[in-house]
Structure 1
Amino acid sequence: MRPLRYAINVTLDGCVHHEAGIAPDEELMGFWTAEMQSVDAVLYGRTTYQMMESVWRRPASGRWPDWMEEWEIPFAEAIDRVPKHVVSSTLDAVDWNAELVHGDLADAVRALKNQPGEGTSVGGVTLPLRLAELGLIDEYIFVVHPVLAGHGPRLLDGLSERTNLELIDRREFGSGAVGQWYRPVA
């Protein structure tokens, strides 16, 4: 069985918006690269899929853009290569090594989890909330940044029931961010 991991950057006040000023430095990008390389697939909602595609898809020229730092390229190559599953009620088609998820979300995600492999990563805001509500997330990875955003979407905002988690690992980064790994307590 392939575990489903929700991995995301979050500010101290719970903001998970990508524009909250928490862009990764070289050390954190190495961490996220290793995370991306450790999964067999990613699961995104439409918004996250389109956002990631707009930044990390290999250009038709085959050359990464000039704005990209050398230490960002391994992440770009890892995410470009990994199979993507996209949950959307508005998209008719996807590409970028992706396929649309059809039918019942819980059944589709269980089918993904039942495939052999190292794991599937889910990102974003809305889809992970739905998956947490369904009890389908096996591991949570939160990289908590020493930033107070003051606004923006919040981590799992609207979760209907409390979910107890146990801390299984922790890592401090030079930037002051702290990675925390949790598993739901049965």
Structure 2
Amino acid sequence: MRPLRYSINVTLDGCCDHQVGIVDDELHRYWANSVERADALLLGRVTYEMMEQAWRPTATGAWPEWMADWMVPFARAIDGAKKHVVSSTLERVDWNAELVRGDLATAVTRLRQEPGAGIFVGGVTLPLALADLGLIDEYEFVVHPVLAGHGPTLFAGLNDRIALTLVGRQEFSSGAVALRYEPVRDPA
């Protein structure tokens, strides 16, 4: 079964506002490599639309003028990735994407049963639902040495506590730290 990996940037005070973290070439390379190791992305509507607006090339195939050269590998990785979008409001998607409809647990279990190296999930709302269903196999938090003081926080409203075991750690020159955890599974 393909593992479902949740990955997100978060500040020291637990916020995940994408506009307050560190933006540098080292972290973009890290995220590009992470996305390239997955077979597909699983995104909620809000994250899909945000990623599409930021990382999809223009109709001419050019990258937006604001994008630095060191951001292009990440943009290419996101652009080329197969995307599964969970939404009850979108009528259609494109950008190498398909809609996921119906019961979330059934749909995600079906995706995980397909052959491959893994599914990468981001965002805030969808991962909360997936965590409540016990479907996330790995949690990755890239903690930025910033106090945001605002923005959405992770797992607000989680139904039950989830115990995690640290399985990996990587430090960046910016002071950010990537921490990877797996849920502690009952041996029963």
Q: How far did 1:155 drift?
A: 1.1
Letter in 2 for 1:4: L
Matched residue, 1:4:
4
Matched residue, 2:75:
76
Matched residue, 1:113:
112
Unaligned runs of 5+ in 2: none
TM-score, L = length of structure 2: 0.96
Distance 1:18 1:25 in 2: 13
Matched residue, 1:55:
54
Distance 2:7 2:75 in 1: 17
* Structure-2 change in CA distance of 1:55 and 1:121 (3 Å): same
> Secondary structure at the residue paired with 2:66?
coil
Q: How far did 1:26 drift?
A: 0.5
Distance 1:45 1:129 in 2: 11
Distance 1:23 1:55 in 2: 16
Matched residue, 2:87:
88
Letter in 1 for 2:109: R
Residue pair 2:88, 2:101 contacting (<8 A) in 1 also: no
Deviation digits for residues 43-65 of structure 1, max 9, x if unmatched?
A: 11100000000011121111112
Distance 1:173 1:77 in 2: 22
Q: How far did 1:23 drift?
A: 4.0
Distance 2:22 2:175 in 1: 13
Matched residue, 2:14:
14
Note the 1:138-157 alignment, pairs <5 A. 138-157=137-156
> Secondary structure at the residue paired with 1:90?
coil
Matched residue, 2:39:
40
Letter in 1 for 2:16: V
Distance 2:22 2:100 in 1: 29
Matched residue, 2:165:
166
Residue pair 2:4, 2:118 contacting (<8 A) in 1 also: yes
> Secondary structure at the residue paired with 1:49?
helix
**Is residue 129 of structure 1 aligned with residue 128 of structure 2?**
yes
The 4+ residue runs of structure 1 with deviation greater than 6 A are none
Unaligned runs of 5+ in 1: none
The size of the alignment, in residue pairs, is: 185
Q: How far did 1:173 drift?
A: 0.5
Letter in 2 for 1:113: R
Residue pair 2:22, 2:144 contacting (<8 A) in 1 also: no
Q: How far did 1:86 drift?
A: 0.6
> Secondary structure at the residue paired with 1:7?
strand
RMSD of aligned Cα (Å): 0.8
Distance 1:61 1:147 in 2: 37
Distance 2:78 2:151 in 1: 25
> Secondary structure at the residue paired with 1:127?
helix
- Percent same amino acid among aligned pairs? 62
Letter in 1 for 2:57: R
